[in-house]
Every structure is written in structure tokens, then in C-alpha cells.
């Protein structure tokens, strides 16, 4: 297969000889916005992330295989992919461990008032805080029970939390006390002390967390978004954030987040720049996923 590899796979250049040994002819481009190193018609397979944002997929007339380095499919025209019978794979499971650790870490920082103690440490100030909270006994709602959601469930369950799931495709799963269909999200929100968003961005899930649904969350609940920013209506979040314990936000509707966004100055928000997926094991996991997918072509 004539394979185009982009720098979105950080180890891709080092794996060219291995791909060629598998029988593929490989072209490499570091930056996906650059000109292709070969004619569009020559490309039969791609390993990329956002290549089709700047190179329309329609130009790849002989494309039959896509391997994404991301877990989400939102940077690809999936209607076109399905209509043309193109085989597509994502990086399922590659980033789930660091993302789940990040979600748990963020909630613990809010519950244990980490910012308060860090600031006092900087000021050499010895002051107790009597408002620390416990995870044990809390109800955690995980919206999106795929690989990332499952890893979150494992970790919160280890802290003696009750785990409820909401998913487009509910199922029996020992990680959860129950998994409800998406149309029962409202019911689940009223029960949850912690809401973790890990679901993909689609037309159905855009602004899933809107003013109505924020109003149904418990006062003092905590929100975590490690999915996609547009799942949350930002204005609705701003209107409701002060009645929550806080929020752990790694993704935003518009990235990078505007410097004048009021979210920056909220004391009960942990705000990070789309960074939750980072972990030293990603390279090894991604390589394994890519090579395994290619062996099945």
C-alpha cells in the first residue's frame, strides 16, 4: 500500500523501515498543513491526525485506509468515509490511562484544596483548612463509557465511589453499577456528585451540557471535561460554575482559550491547555495500535 505518514505520529519517521518491511511504500510529511510529498492520487493509506482539515479528503481519489493518531473522529468527514468504503481506525486506548489519571487527579485537587495549600506554601504560611472533602461514598457519573470512561471508572471505583455510566450504547459492565442510555442523562445528573465527560463530539453531543442540564446538577457537584470542548455550552457553564464545587477543564469550545475568558479567574476551576492525554506510555501504545491495524489490512 502507498502509505502517507505525517508527523502527527511522533515516532512515525523512525518506523518507516518497519513499515516498508511490511510491504508498504512510505511517504513522510512532518507538518500536515504542508504540501504533500507525493500526488494525491498516489495515496492509498494515511497515518495522520488533522490532515483533512487542510487537504480535502475528496482529493485522495484512491484512499482506502485511514489510521488516526487521535481517539476522536471529529476531524474526518465520516459520511464521506462511509460512503466510499474507506477503512478507518482511531487510537483507541492509547491515551485512556493518562486521561483517567488526570480526571482523578483534578477532582482530588479540588476536594483536598490543593491550590490553597500550594499558595500558603509559597507564602510560608502555616494555616489549616477545615473544608476538605472525601471521594469515598460519592456518586460518579461517567458520560461516555468507552476506553477513557472505563479507565476513569476503574480509578474512581478504587476510591469507593459508586459509578454510574451514560452511553449511546448501554450495556452490562462490572465497572458500573449501571449504564443508562443517553436519553436518561437528566435522571443521572440529579444523582451525581462528580460528572466526568469522556464522550465523542457529534451533532448529538454538541452542547450536551447546556443551561438546563447544568441547572439539574447537584449544588456542590464537580464537573470534569476531558472529551471535547463543544460538549459544554461555555456560557451556560459560566452562569452555573459558582454553585458547583468546581470544574476540571482540559478542553474548550475555542482553543486556545481567549485571554479575556472569565474562566481563567474562577478560583474553583482547574484549567489546562488540552493536555490531559499526555503520558510517557503513549508512544509505545500508539505504535502497537498502528502496527496491529496495518497487519489486518
Q: For residue 118, which of 105, 106, 127 has the smallest C-alpha distance? A: 127
Q: Can you tell me whether residue 253 is helix, strand or coil?
A: coil
Q: In the predicted model, what is the mean pLDDT of residues 232-248?
A: 97
Q: For residue 167, which of 185, 145, 186, 187 has the smallest C-alpha distance? A: 145
Q: In the predicted model, what is the mean pLDDT of residues 98-102?
A: 98
Mode of pairing for the β-strands spanning 246-249 and 65-68? unpaired
pLDDT at residue 131 greater than cutoff 90: yes
Query: Count of CB atoms within 10 A of residue 49's CB?
Result: 19
- The DSSP result for 73-130, as a single string, is -TTS-HHHHHHTT-EEE--TTTSHHHHHHHHHHHHHHHHTTHHHHHHHHHTT-----S
pLDDT of residue 297: 82
pLDDT in tens, 163-199: 999 999 999 999 999 999 999 999 999 999 999 999 9
pLDDT at residue 296 greater than cutoff 90: no
Q: In the predicted model, what is the mean pLDDT of residues 90-107?
A: 97
pLDDT at residue 33 greater than cutoff 90: yes
pLDDT of residue 283: 96
How high does pLDDT run on average in the chain? 97
pLDDT of residue 146: 96
**Predicted TM-score (pTM) of this structure:** 0.93
C-alpha cell at 107: 477532582
Cα gap 130→51, rounded to integer Å: 51
Instruction: Give the neighbor-by-neighbor strand order of the sheet with 65-68.
Output: 25-29, 2-6, 45-48, 65-68, 87-89
pLDDT at residue 3 greater than cutoff 90: yes
pLDDT in tens, 115-124: 999 999 999 9
pLDDT of residue 18: 96
Displacement of CA 173 from its chain's centroid (Å): 21
**Which residues are part of the catalytic machinery?**
228, 255, 274
Domains of the chain and any CATH numbers: 2-94+280-295 (3.40.50.720), 96-271 (3.40.50.720)
pLDDT of residue 234: 97
pLDDT in tens, 51-85: 999 999 999 999 999 999 999 899 999 999 999 99
Mode of pairing for the β-strands spanning 194-197 and 178-181? unpaired
Torsion sign across C-alpha atoms 108, 199, 227, 49: positive
Query: What residues contact residue 107 under an 8 Å CB cut-off, 6+ apart?
Result: 135, 194, 222, 224, 248
Cα gap 162→30, rounded to integer Å: 45
Amino acid at each position: 500500500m502507498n502509505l502517507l505518514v505525517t508527523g502527527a505520529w511522533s515516532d512515525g519517521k523512525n518506523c518507516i523501515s518497519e513499515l516498508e518491511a511490511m510491504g508498504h511504500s512510505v511517504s513522510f510529511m512532518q507538518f500536515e498543513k504542508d504540501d504533500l510529498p507525493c500526488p494525491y492520487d498516489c495515496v492509498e493509506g494515511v497515518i495522520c491526525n488533522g490532515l483533512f482539515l487542510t487537504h480535502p479528503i475528496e482529493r485522495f481519489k484512491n484512499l482506502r485506509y485511514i489510521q488516526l493518531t487521535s481517539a476522536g473522529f471529529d476531524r474526518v468527514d465520516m459520511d464521506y468515509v462511509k460512503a466510499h468504503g474507506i477503512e478507518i481506525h482511531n487510537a483507541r486506548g492509547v491515551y485512556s490511562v493518562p486521561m483517567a489519571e488526570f480526571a482523578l487527579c483534578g477532582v482530588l485537587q479540588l476536594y483536598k484544596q490543593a491550590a490553597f495549600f500550594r499558595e500558603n506554601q509559597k507564602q510560608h504560611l502555616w494555616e489549616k483548612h477545615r473544608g476538605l472533602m472525601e471521594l469515598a461514598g460519592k456518586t460518579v457519573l461517567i458520560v461516555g463509557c468507552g476506553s477513557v470512561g472505563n479507565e476513569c471508572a476503574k480509578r474512581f471505583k478504587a476510591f469507593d465511589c459508586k459509578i454510574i455510566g451514560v452511553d449511546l450504547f448501554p450495556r452490562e459492565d462490572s465497572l458500573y453499577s449501571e449504564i443508562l442510555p443517553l436519553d436518561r442523562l437528566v435522571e443521572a445528573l440529579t444523582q451525581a456528585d462528580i460528572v466526568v465527560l469522556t464522550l465523542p463530539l457529534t451533532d448529538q453531543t454538541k452542547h450536551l451540557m447546556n443551561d438546563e442540564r447544568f441547572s439539574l446538577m447537584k449544588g456542590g457537584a464537580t464537573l470534569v471535561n476531558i472529551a471535547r470542548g463543544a460538549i459544554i455550552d461555555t456560557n451556560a457553564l459560566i452562569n452555573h460554575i459558582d454553585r458547583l464545587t468546581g470544574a476540571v477543564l482540559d478542553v474548550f469550545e475555542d482553543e486556545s482559550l481567549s485571554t479575556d475568558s472569565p474562566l481563567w479567574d474562577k478560583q474553583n476551576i482547574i484549567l489546562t491547555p488540552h493536555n490531559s492525554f499526555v503520558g510517557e506510555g503513549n508512544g509505545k501504545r500508539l505504535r502497537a495500535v498502528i502496527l496491529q491495524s496495518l497487519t489486518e489490512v
